[in-house]
Amino acid sequence: LMRAWICDGALLVALNSSAFGDHVADWGRLLAEVGHHIAKAAALNGYMREEDAQATLRDAFVAGFGHVSPGASGHLRGRQQH
């Protein structure tokens, strides 16, 4: 559904934008589930408590919507029939 990586200091993201159709809330649930895994990993690594990691992730997520990266761009590829 989604790939993310760092290249030359920039975050690059590729995703199957039509995976959930117009059910955008499903993307939110997917991101929340990923957040739970990240928080759990932070706790298991001893970086912080899981609850603190969740709060930090939530704050960063909300703050991230306040600005768009200057290098952010995007386009849709043609649909592929399988």
pLDDT at 17: 86
Share of the chain above pLDDT 70, in %: 89
Mean per-residue pLDDT of the chain: 89
* Strands 10-15 vs 2-7: parallel, antiparallel or unpaired: antiparallel
More confidently predicted of 38 and 77: 38
Phi-psi category of residue 4: left, alpha or beta, with phi > 0 → left and psi -120 to 50 → alpha: beta
Amino acid at 81: Q
Q: Mean of the pLDDT values across residues 24-32?
A: 95
